[in-house]
Structure formats: C-alpha cells, structure tokens
Structure 1
Amino acid sequence: MTESGNAKKREEVLKKYLANLSKNIAKLEEMWGHLRHVQWNQQVLSSLKLLTHKLLGGALALHLHKIAYDLKSLDYNLAQIDDDSGAPNFQDNDLIEQCILALKATSNDLANHKPEKVIDNSSIEVSNLDKQEKLLYIVDDDQVIRDLLAGELEACGYQVNLFENLQSLYDSLNQETPSLVILDIVFPEEGALAGVDALKHLRSQMGLKIPVIFISARSDMVARLRCLRAGGNAFFGKPVEIKPLVEKIEELTPDDQTRHRALIIDDDEISLELHADQLQSANFKVRKVNNPLNAMKEINQFQPDVLLLDMKMPMCNGLELADVLRQDNHFTELPIIFITGDNSEETRQQAEAVENSQFLTKPVERSELLDASLTAARQYAVVKHKQTRQKPSSKQSPIKKRQQFIENLDRVINGRSSELEQYHLYYLVLDNINNVKQHVGLRNLDEINSKLFKVILPQLSPQDSVTSVTDGALLLLIKGEFDHSWDLANQLINELDHIAYTQGEESLKTSASIGMFSLNTPIANSIDSIAYAEAAVNQAKNAGGNKVVAVLNAHNKTIDESAQMVLSEKLESAIRDKAYILNFQTIATSENSDFQAFEVLVRLKDDMGRQISPIKFFETARNLDAIVEMDRWIYSATTQAMQSDKTGLMSAKMFLKVSTETLSYNLLPTIVNGLIQESRILGERRLIFMLDQSSIENHLEQSTRFAEAIHHINCDIALENYDYHQSFDIIEALKPGYIKLNASLINEAMKSAHTQVDLKSFIGYCKNRGISIIAAQIEEESTLDICKTLGIKLFEGFFIQKPTASLQQAYEANRLWSESN
C-alpha cells in the first residue's frame, strides 16, 4: 500500500468512526441508565465495558485526544466495578455518569468544529528489511486498530494477516508460522487479560517460539508485568507509534546481517550436510567441521551462538570436546546441543551433566532441531548482551562465610535510610532435602551445596552475596528493585528444577522454594529479617513447594500475586517522592456565615494522577518510617495554602491530624511555630491539631505535653473519635477547644431516653467549658436534624460537602451551605 493510499484509508476510518460516535455514546448512556435505574445485569455491564474499550482503542489509534481522555476516564471507572459482584452503591459511581456527560460534550464539540487532525506516521524510512516480506500477524478485536496498523505496516513492506479473535489465531498457527505476532491484551468477551493467557497457552501447549509484541490501551505496571511473565518480547501502548514498532520488529526478527550463527561438529558427512541445510533454511549462518581436533580453532574464529556436537567421534568424542571448551572462560555460557544415535539413559545423563546443554537423538526431526537451536541462540544472545553492559568488577566471590554475610546484611539494614538502592533477602531451601540426604548418603553431603552453588552463582551480579545455612539451604542478599529480584527468584526456581543428585546408577530430581523479604521496610536487625524470609519459605513449602513467596513488610503480610506486589512497589515509590496532595473538607455551621473551618486531608497521587486515600497507603508509609515526614509535609503545605489564599480567609481554621508517630516527635511544636512565623498567618488558634482518643490513652503523658506546647504557640487541640461515656480526665488534661463526635454514635444515642440524657449532659458540660462539638461523618439530612436539636453547631460529612483539592471551592461550598441553612 502506498503512503497516499494509507493516508486515504486513515481518513476513511476517521470519518466512519466520527459518524458512529454519537450513536455509540447514546448506547453507552442507555446501558448505564438501564443498570442504574431499571435492573442490574452482568451481561449489560460486560457489553458496556466492551463498547467503551473498543471506542477507546479507536480514539487512541486515530489520535482523537479529547475523546480518548474522556473514554479513558470512563474505562477506568467501569473497571472498578467487579463483574462478579452485585449492584454497587450508585452514590459512589456518579463519576461514570459524569464521564458519559463529558464524552457527549466533547462529541458535540467535534461535530460543530473541525475534527482533530489525524497524524499519519506511516511515512518513515525503514532500512535492512528482508527482500522477502516478513509475515506479521495482528490480533485485535477492534477493527479500527487492525486496519490502521495493517495499512502502516504494509506500507513498510511487511505482509500482514489480521485476526479479530484468539481462536482464529490458534487455527492459523496450526497451518503456518509468521515471523512475529502483534497481540492485544484485552479481549473483553474472552477475559480482561485474555491476550496474556493466550500467549501462555501458545508458549506452553503449542510450543510457540516466535516473538510476540503486546499492544494495549492499558499501560499500567500490572499489565506490563503480566505480559513479560507470559513470554512477551515487547509492549506498546495505544496509540502505537509506527517507527519504534518497526524498529522493535526488526530487532526481534533479525535479517541476514544479524542472523544467528551455528557451528556443527560431526564426523558423519551425511548428518553434517543435512543439519546444515536445515539450519540454513531457517536463516542461520552455518559453519561445518568434520574433524573435532580443528574445533577450537573454528569456534574462536566463527564465534557461534550455538554449538551442535556429535557425541561419538574418533580421536575426540563430544563430551571430551565439551570439557575442553568449558575450560575456556570465553565459552562457559555457549549453548551446546549434543546429537547422537545412542539413546541410552547413561549417555543422556552424561550429556545433561554438561552446563548449558541439550540432548537430541538421531534421527532428529527438522522442527525439533530448529526449535532447540533457535531457543539456545536467542538465550545466548541475551547473555552476551548482559555481559557487554556489565561494568568490570573485581574477582571477589559472592560466596561469603556466614558471619561475613550477616555483617553485610546488617550494614544494608542500618544504612537503608541513606541509600537509594533496594535489597531483598532470599531464604532458599530444597523442598525434599531429607530424601536427597538419604539418596546421596552422609559421605556425599557436599554434593548438595556444590550443585546448588553451581546453578546459582552464574545468575548473581557482583553486588550479590550468598552463604550456606545448612545442607540444602542458602541465604542470598540480592541488590535490585522488586521486579528484578522477583524475576531472579523465579528464574532460580526454574533452574534448580532441572538438576539431579546421583548415587551409583540412580538419580533423584528435586525442586526448591524461596522466601523473599524486602529490606526496604523497617527491620531492627538481620535476625528479624532472616526470620521473615524463613517464614515465607515455609509458607511456600507448605503450599506444595517449587514456588516463591514474597513478604512485603514486617507484619507477616505475604503475597504471591503480581498485581498486589506492583501496587506496593508503586506506593512506596510515591511515598518516597512525597507525591502528596491536600484535600479540604468543610466544617460548616448554620449559626454564623462568617465562620470558615476545614479539615485537611491528604491523598497520594499514583503514576496516573489518581488520588489514593490514606486507608490504602498509610500502612505502607508506616512501614517506611515515613509518617512523621508526611505529617510535616501536610503542615507545611497547609500553611503555604493559607498564605497564598486570595479568597479573604483571614480567619479560616484548619484542622490537622496528628499521628501517633508524630505525637512522639518532641520538636513538632517548634516546627509548627516556625511555619506560622514564616507564612505570617494572621489571627490566633487557626491551626487545630486533632488527637485520636485511643492514641491519647496509650500516650497520655506525651499527649499532655504536646497539648501544652500547642497552646503555648496560640494553636488549639481537638479530640477525635471521642467516647463521651468515658471519664472527663482527658478533657481536663488536654483542654481541647473542639471535640468530634461521629454521627453514628449520635444516632445510636437517640435510640433510648437514657442515652439521650447522657449525650445532652456531655454536650452541656462541653458548652460550659467553651468546647465546641463537631458532628462528623454526617451522611443524611435526618442525622443533621438530630444534631441541631441537640444544640450542636458544627457539622462535617459528605452530606455537607465532599473533600476537594481546591481551597477556593471548599470556601465557596462552606459559604453557600451556611446561607442556605
């Protein structure tokens, strides 16, 4: 297809998309209206999600940025509704209706104005394409994306076949093998991550070896990791930019100039020629050697990516040649494929004892030879790439004596607050160590650790270290981020699953488990961290073994689901970056329209700009020892907001939470006073610090000192979650200006005359001492009316006003509520 033809096709697709857009939005609105007002139906919900996803994919592909933004918001909010659960609380899903309304408005704007310009990025230079066109498969349920991507790739010289569902892909792969597959992640009718599951099936059940590139409107870390672990070779977010896509295709489907090199050594001329022809037909560059005594010279000159070696040759057999080769440090990783007509078990065991080797029996099927050779060559290419990127390091062995290992571990733990590097501790054990000990005998116990180290050491970086705990158990200290450490642990598990312990003619295979503990959480010492890792590995063994279990924090919260792991890592990163944002919630009154007060709330922004509530990140922040720093950030940001406010809030009061950790920070009042002086906030007692009753009871002496210091700098104290049935000793000690009572407590009190008397008595007590009562968490008008009859003057809750990041909006909501009440 020519460039002009491709551009014309894009214009046609754009017109068709825009012509149907208003109808499709009407369908979205109709389906949501049915779900909300008529009947909740899982099938309708699935159809709504499917249509939204398809529209989003088309908008991204056509670069309709405003439409795509609205659809992305809708897609995200719909994803929060579980397909298998019942009808949600529709008050929590107003955002979906808002998204659809915004989408309608954007669509109307497009209808009344010129559409956004479609970017045609197909006109690019592509070099080093094979003279014969490469066959690409595109699998996507969205016809818009399929057609556009096909047009762009055909313009670059590729042959393209299109598939709208996974079954048609399976059927075609049984007939032919493409050079590469471009696969969408989401097929809503088949599952949220059906593309990922399909690749797992293709790799494990159908033996698919060719490269696969994932494309998706989803770009979150969870999706990317799932793609990687399923065997994906690359990931592109929609809209797909054609130039980097073509570059990646060329990288994954190398041409003649970068094709793999295979060296075949066999004294049998017929086998030598046959295997050479088969590999050359698959684009290998091949060199043939029929005299094993010339092998080392040819290997050094040719630098192969894979070595095919006959085992039975005169003068020098294949096993002897492999031993000589492995003595050269340059070829310890070179993959060897032994080929022989001897299929005895003894010969197989001898071959498999050689590192990085495979065993094939003559006559070898062409597909078997190509699969083994291509897989080995690609893996070796990755190894060579890593070696070229590694900086020269000392020859110091990563194997440490136990005391030296513990000292290194303590050094990492004690220095974690000043280092950006991340470390993880592995506790690795053989699952059936007792059987192995019985099998090899007491005199041969050294073989256990020897084989473990033989497998593990090549996988470690110079910064990693390992020590033996007991027979068949090791401790490893791994430097790297979570994803790297998690993948390495699983790689070690897979490698250890292929080793065997021999005694005489008998061989016993085993498996291993790993308990993984992140050292980026607050831990007292090395003994505690080892205990957590050991608990995790015991959990892995109890679950059947041959797996990795990761401990995310020091509260024994274990995890083996990648999505939750990624979430924890992302939260930790955002907390370290202090990606916080303030929200303000009105504390309203119907008595005095000049009264302005707001509770200051904190949210955490994730990598997509969404706000995360404290209930989802507070525990992580606590594990990172980040609570005090977070509170200091809140107090500083609040005073800055008060200083820069232009709405005339010269008397607005800000209610600030005080955590247990911050309560113990003796310098806090001094810091607050400094912030007040620096920001030049006018007026007294405008900062009110809220203490939770349970925290006060556990730290009464600290709370009393803190309250005295806060009063001394002309700020005030509020008590939260206060139980008015308790003694008034806390009130007398802290002398608060405010007490917050939860509305649920007030509603409960109104159920009997006796509790009503107690509540009214408490309110009178507070009034006589100049303490204002705040009725918090008011969700409905009836509760508000009860509070008014009790003489309560201050109110807070979603019924009054939802939190907002804009102080101006909070002030306006406060003013309007006061005037209307």
Structure 2
Amino acid sequence: MQQEFRNQLERLRQQFAASLPERAHRLEEIWSHLRHLNWSAQGIAALQQFAHKLVEAATSFGFPELHQAALQLENFITELNELGRSFGGLEYAQLEDHVEHLSQIMAATAGGKALQAPLPSIAIKNSEETQGKTIFLIDPDRILAALCSAYLRNAGFTVEHFDNPQTCMQQLYLDSPAAILMDPDFERSGMQALGSLHQIKSLLTRDTPILLMSGRTDVNAKLRALRAGSSDYLTKPLDFDFLVEKLINIITLHTKVQRVMIVDDDPAMTSLQAEILRYAGMEVLCLNKPLHSLQQAAKFKPDLVILDMHMPDINGMELAVLLRQDPEFLLLPIIFVTADTDTNLHKSIKALGVNALLTKPFEVAELINVCEQALADTSALKNRVARVTRQAQQPQQLNRSYFFSALEDELQNNSLGNQNSALYYFSIDKLEELSKQLGQVALLDLHDQFCRRLNETAGSDEQWIDLSPMVACVLASKRSTEFHRQRGEQFVKHLSSQAYSTKGKSLSLEFKLGVASLEHALGTANNALLRAEQAFEESINGTTPINNTTANSEKNLPDFSQVVFSRDLTLAFQPIISLEDAHIEHFAVLTRLRGEDGEPIAAGQFLSRLTQPGKRVELDRWALQQAVSAIAENSETREQATLFIHLAEETLQQSAFFSFAANVLRSSRLRGDERLVFMLEESWIINHFHQAREIAKALRDIHCGICITRAGENEQILSLLEDLAFNYMRLSPKLTSDATNPKLLERLITSATGRGIKVIATQIENSHNLSSLWMQGVRLFEGFFIQPPDSAFHLQNDIIFAKEFVQGSSFNSSQ
C-alpha cells in the first residue's frame, strides 16, 4: 500500500514538473506587464504572489533548487517593499536577474535536470478517526490539490476536490462533508473568496468546520479569515502530517458527544438540567448522593461537572476541591448552579477557578451556552498545556523546530559534575553508493524500517528525528561519558542486528555512530550537529574521536562585532500561560541573531561577544522598543499583554534607561500598570542588593514590574523577599524539573503567594509535575515553544504534540 502511495506521489511530482513551462509563460506575462505599466503596485504584488505560490509548490513536490530560486525572488521584493525603495535603476537589474534565474531553474526542472528531494511519506495511517469522513477541498491549483488529496486519502479520508467555491456549493445541496478545506487566495483576487464563506455556511446542515489554508502570513489575512467564520487558518506550504492531525482534532471536537455529570441532592433539579443538556446533544449522568460523585467520576470520565452549592454531607466547594486534587481532573471544567445570592459566597466560588456560576432560576439557553463555552475553553486550554509540557511517558519523534529548540536548551544548561547530555548521530558507511544502487524508492523503504527500529530502541528520556534517508539523531539526557558510549553501542547493535528487506530481498546493514557531548562551548545546535557528524565520520575512518568540542565551536562561531540591530537581529516571544485563563497574556521577550543559514541563534551564544562600550544598552533599548511596538500594533494583545524583558548588567547601571522606558510606554497605545516587567537574576540581586532595591523603586515609579528569575538556587533569597517588592517570581528549572529540593520549593511558593507575588514555573517535563505545582499554588507556566513576532501572538493554529498529550496524559477526561 505504501509503495502504491509513493508511486502516486512520484506521478504527481512529474505532473507538476510538466506544468512548469505553462507557469514560466505566466511569469513572463507578469514580467512583461510590469515593464509596460511602469511598475504598478498591482504588478509587483502579482509577481510576489506568483513567487510565493511557486515556493509552496516547490516545497511540497521536493524541488529544492526551484524552491530557493522562487524564495530569493519573493524575499527580494519583500525587502524592497519594507525599505520603501523604488524598483528602478540597480533594483530593476537585480530583479530582472532574479526573474531570469527563476525561469532557468523552471526550465531545468521541467527537463528533469534539477535536484529532487525525497517526498515525505505521511506518518499517519488509516484509522477509525478518518474512515467514512469526507473532506471537501477547494483549491484552484489542480496539481497541488491532487497532492493534498493523495495524502488525505492515504490517511483514510474521502476527498472531493473543487476548483472554486461555486461548484462546491452546488455539491452541498446533495452532500454534507465532515470538514471543508479551502484556499481563498485565488490568483488576482487576493482574499476575495472569503465572501463565499458565508454562503457555504448557510448551506451546511450541521456545524461543519471550515479550515482556510493560504500562503498569506500577515495578521490581517488571518483575522479576516477568522471573522469570516473559519474554524482555523493554516499557512502554506502545508505539513501534511500536521494537516491530518488538525483535521482529526477539529472533526472530533465537532462530532464528539460531551459527557456531563450533574451533582445535586434535589432529583427534580438534576432531571430538569439533564433534559436540557440531552436536548443539546450531551450525554448526562445525574447523581443525587454527593459522596458517591468521586467514585462515579472515575468511572464516567466526565468532560464537564455541574455542582450545586448546598448539599448534605459535603458542599459543592468542598467537592470541587476534591475533584481538582485528582490529576486526572485538574483541568475538568466545573459550573456551579445555586439559588444562594450571597455575593461573598459567589466570590469564594469563583476563586476556585470555576468556569461559570449560574443563579437559580436560569434560562434554558443560558445553561446550554455556559456549558458549551466551558467545554470550548477547556479544549483550547488542553492544547496550550500540551505545548507547555514535555511528555516523558513515551519516546517521540519530534518535528525539527522542537528538536533543535530542545537541543539549544540542553546546550544552555550547565553540566552537572561529569555528566552531560549527548547527541547521537546514526547512519551507514557508503550511503551514497547504496542510494545509487537501490534507487530512491527502495531507499525510502529502508528508511521507514530504520525509523521503526530506532523508535523501538529509544527510551522515555530520549528524543529523535530523522535528518535524511538513513540518517537520524537521538538527543539523550545527562549521563556519564561511559554511559553514552555504551548506550550508543546498544542502539547500533539493535539497528544492525536484523536484516532489512527491499525488493523482496534481504539486506544486511552495518550502522555507525558519532557522539557529541553537549557542552556549553559548542554554542549552537548546528555546531552540536556538526560535531556529531564529524565523530560519525571518524568512526567510519577508524580514527579515535578527539575531544575538540571547544575548538570546533569557536571555529564555527560567526563574528558578531558588526551586528546591525534592524538588519541582523529579530525578536521572538515565549508565551507564559495560565491554567485559569483562556487568554495568554504574558510573553518573555527573546533576542535572536539571524545566522548565515537563516536559523535564529539564541542570545546566549552571541551576547557575550558584543564587547563594544554601550552596545548592550543600545541593544536593550532596541529590544524594548521593538517588543512594545509588536504588542501595541496587535488589537488582541494591546489591552492585556505583559512583556517580560531581560536587561544586561551594563543597562542596569544606567538610570537614564528607566526614563527611556517610561517614554516608550507613554508614546505607545499601551495602558495600565505593569505592562512591562523587567527580569533580574537571583544571583545578581543577592550580590547587588542595594542597587536592586533602587531599581525596584525606579520601576514602581514608572508603573513597571519586577521579576526575579532562577529563584531558588540560593536559599538566601527567602529573606530578601521581605525587603524587595517583587511582582513575579520565575522558579529555577532545577526546582521544577529535577525536584532536587522539594522543601525549598514549597517554602518559596508559600512565601511568594503569601505576599501576592505571582509564581512562574519553567521547563516542565510532564503534565503530572505541572499538576503538582498547580496544587502548590503555581498559576503561570512558561513553555518550551517559541513564537516568532510575525505570528502576532495568534496561538490557536498550533497543536504541536496536542494529540500525544490528549491521548497519553492524565488530563484526558474522555478515555
């Protein structure tokens, strides 16, 4: 079956290549149109859109040279637009070179002379979640639509493709799909097809989700799509594994029968509520004996609980606390229904973090609405929690961005004694010869077998990715050098012990291993990968690997002496989520350097090399202005978001900086206190206590907040909490991840919460640990995921690891 699927993908790739002469003719039309109409804005936009769509297609069909040529053209136009420069003179000649180069690559690709990358095969197989589900796909590009359809059908969906919304609407009179996938960005019409969304929704006989997919990444396009009634917005080129996961997730959300448990000692009241909710399509369990509710909840696995306040033996608040103490029900939505109108009682109930409180009597529609809203909010919350924790229950193959982010984290952590994390690099000798001998199709089949064996061998504290056919890396946790050597040999033995099969024949493969110890001196994930690859090559050549980590890392570090902020630097944002609020309101601001390969380099690898006097102060000013502008320009964050910003010690010496910060706030559209929170490390505060106290006073004067970071690495900080007015405390990862000192952790949290200091936990490894911290009083959690600024803080599209989390964690209340 998989072989047939790969053959189908290859046929579609050839069809795309055959369509390139026609697309090249379209490029020539746009270019000619531009020159004759004296560089109209519409012509430039059409050329940029053409290049972007070609980037999408080249990525999807595995033509790296075509992708690069189209991307160069698109980026060149983008840069000129951002700089506000005209398209005449030198710019005209450069643009013409890009267009001619793209035309040449298109011709070479059509002629079969261009490099081809392996087409990724989908990881998700047919399942009950996809069987019998029909997807309507609306996309004007027939070849890209055929590729998307092939992946969806391979996953088990039935797909019907339509060139335009009108033909889809005709079919909606006859059939109702499980979901609609639509590209509204038709050529020459921008996002005009969004107008059809309302017509499509009016023809649907049920609440069918509509997902929009487009190459447009700007906030306005996303906002228009969501306001038009779409359930989600996906950016092209699509990750087809992600697309299938998203469709399964959103279809399940729309079709699942929600379970509601009602606890009230009045049988008449439970019967009334049950009838209302059953009418709304929910499954209901009524309990009139409150003391039995905990036992019944463990069996029924409710998605929502409705509690009365005043009941015999145990009241509603006590029952809610007991339910939430079970990690399985930590995120369980709870609604109180009571006839008591005491305002103080209502405040106490809401302080529990319940989803809603209804006062008897209530309207039928009111009960249904609050239940549906509570279920929707909790579903979104589970997705966010999935992104803020690392699941340690089972080994995982990760997407590359997450893997390299985890690798960067490991490089930043100080080594403990003689123990370090390590990167294992696996492949075989003479891989290129084997590829030529077998061909790409057979090599991909071997690669699937290789990945399955690697996954079987990886432990719960090991994460892995495949880099290319028959090449993979494993990230292993902190152990001794000897342990990593033995562990790597175990991998090699398992990978090589059994024969592989291809084309009906048995084939023996001998795998080799390269190990890179993740020392801080390596600097970047790319350097760590390079070192592991060098160790692999040394193992092939039979030479003894030399421990030259430091030399290699220093050699590969770029020169940061001439960094230009607006050109070379960018910002990223690390969301800090609350388990009690559906909105993400807190963001840590991170500075990133654009590397030569386009990969963002973390601040820890380059800030120490900015040695010019005043450069760090200048950098902090730039970062502050850029971060404030980012949230002030976005309507969703302007009124509520809080920014956490690190400052260099050099900046802390400059009293004028805080006046500068006050002016930035005054000139922005941000309103309210503590919209900016400045982060100071615990060790610095202890060593500079008097200066820290002066800084805290200066920050209060300009209505900014202060956060102590890495709190708990020194017990001395407990006494300082009484003398310094902190607003936030960011716990040391040593306390939250390794649980090395649970007594100190408890004392810190108790002391902080007693003084009104909000506690933030970082680097949470699994949901059970998160549950424990929540019960101790921690309400804010900083995740491992990083957000680029161009995503405008819109987090709804990202469900990385959501399925693994919902299926495997203790928060799942639907099993």
Bigger RCO of structures 1 and 2 (CA < 8 A, at least 6 apart): 2
> TM-score if structure 1 supplies the norm length?
0.41
Structure index of larger Rg? 1
> TM-score if structure 2 supplies the norm length?
0.41
